[in-house]
Amino acid sequence: MRMCVGQGKRWLAAWRRGRSFPLAALLSLLVAGAAYAEQPAADRLERVVILTRHGVRGAMSTPEELGGYTRLGWPSFSAPPAILTAHGATLLTMMGGWYRARYQAAGLLEAGDCAVYLWANHTQRTVATAKALAQGLAPGCELAVNQSPREPDPLFDAPLTPFAPPDNARLLAAISARVGGNLAAWDARQRPQLDRFEALLLQCARTPCSAEERGRVRHRLGDTPIAMRLDEHGALQLSSPALAVGGLAESLIMAYADGLDFPGWRGMDSRTIGPALAVHGTAIDLRTRTPEVGRQSSSYLAMRLLATLQRGAGVPVLADPIGDGQKIVVLAGHDGTLTMLAGLLGLNWHLPVYGAGEAAPGGAILFELWRRGARGRPFVRVLYAAQSLDQMRYLTPLTLTRPPATERIAIAGCPDRERGCPLDAFTRHVLRQIAPPAPRTDARPAFN
């Protein structure tokens, strides 16, 4: 075991210097350090990492800009663009209260427990999200919201890893492979979903909207050019009508969740909005959940998160843990923070009303470290939790008997969601996902 710890320290030093380390050596290290004995005693929760999206914010675009795609006026937010709303802060505090109730019931937290660490990205809405969440999760505690001295924060924005350096050509190849090299054909397959979304925006009498109805607005989604290429500066260009719904869909979600009125609009309820968001989930999947996107953007986050779970678990820690050993670590980021990491690790969920794999405002991936018995084998359970659209709109109280929507997530190689995934197996999975794939040997594909 001393040898394993020494190897772990040498790996960590190499990681900090930005040098690569052979994956096979890492895996052998894990196998050598994974001598655990199964215990029949009850499972015990030891640590949780809550990777959350920020809460409900003001729309990024003005009502006039959004109204160019609709026949009726767009509601105005009380908060400026991109700023967490007061309604959104209340929802986060309610969510934090549910986390506290959940983890007190699981025996992780005690009354008055302040063992919570907060880390947020460099935006107002993420910092405010961490603060509002803490009011419910750790009431009465004076908790600082930690941030990186570097901006952008490599935990959320910068691809800082020796395993997956930025490579836009590789990104293009990976996304192209998912659409069979033909983005136009992929977009055409999304047309029924896009028609449903457009019918809600244009308030059409039937789906699809008629040419006359589409002609009543200044901007049409169908006019978005289809492009999948690298520009003259090497930047990835990816656009299509289905991919263009992102900002509109997010603004619609935020407005409904914030309790805003839509004067004159028909069908503005969760039963109608939910199916209309399906195209948004599909677009998110292609743009952010393609594994190579996550490999280049989220490998550093994955290793830091893994190290946080490994700390104190009796295994070699392979990177710098986040926090100082607190029972709960909260990381407040953005929707892409969750979806790109999920794409990297193959984490899938589909909550009612939302699109598949969609990161709802204030929703979170929960990484729970459990142990079977006092000295048993550590294992990881992963869940996704988010308030429903109506829970957010109507400020529905959350309790253990009336929780937010939750779904336990299967991990590759560990299909039993109830029992979770042994920590050593979860570690091997993370390392395999961030390791660079073999160099491409095929000819450069033709992109549309």
**What residue type is assigned to position 361 of the chain?**
P
Write down the pLDDT at residue 31.
Answer: 43
Beta pairing partners, 117: 329
Write down the pLDDT at residue 4.
Answer: 42
- Residue 276 phi, psi (nearest 5): -70, -20
Element (H or E) spanning 238, and its range? Answer: strand 236-239
Write down the pLDDT at residue 1.
Answer: 41
Contact (CB, 8 A) for 308 and 329: yes
Strands, E assignment, 282-411 = 328-333, 364-372, 378-386, 405-409
What is the set of domains in the chain, with CATH numbers? 2-63+78-162+290-434 (3.40.50.1240), 168-288 (3.40.50.1240)
Q: Which pTM was predicted?
A: 0.88
C-alpha to C-alpha distance for 253 and 250, rounded to whole angstroms: 5
Residue pointed to by tokens 């983890």: 103
Write down the pLDDT at residue 17.
Answer: 47
Nearest to 271 by CA among 387, 389, 174: 389
C-alpha to C-alpha distance for 193 and 204, rounded to whole angstroms: 15
C-alpha to C-alpha distance for 2 and 80, rounded to whole angstroms: 55
Write down the pLDDT at residue 440.
Answer: 52
Determine how β-strand 116-120 pairs with β-strand 145-146.
Answer: parallel
Residue pointed to by tokens 């948004």: 280
Write down the pLDDT at residue 160.
Answer: 63
Write down the pLDDT at residue 40.
Answer: 43
Residues of the chain with pLDDT under 70: 1-41, 158-163, 374-375, 436-448
- Residue 155 phi, psi (nearest 5): -70, -30
- Residue 52 phi, psi (nearest 5): -115, 150
Distances 110 to 57, 100, 116, 196, 403 between C-alpha atoms, Å: 32, 9, 12, 48, 20
Write down the pLDDT at residue 436.
Answer: 57
- What are the tokens at 378? 């550590």
Write down the pLDDT at residue 79.
Answer: 96
DSSP state letters, 44-73: EEEEEEEEEE---BB-SS-HHHHHTT-SSP
Contact (CB, 8 A) for 204 and 210: yes
**Cα torsion through 120, 126, 129, 130, rounded to 10:** 10
Residue pointed to by tokens 């003001």: 58
**What residue type is assigned to position 337 of the chain?**
T
Write down the pLDDT at residue 444.
Answer: 43
CA 196 to chain CA mean position, Å = 25
Write down the pLDDT at residue 27.
Answer: 47
Nearest to 118 by CA among 325, 337, 330: 330
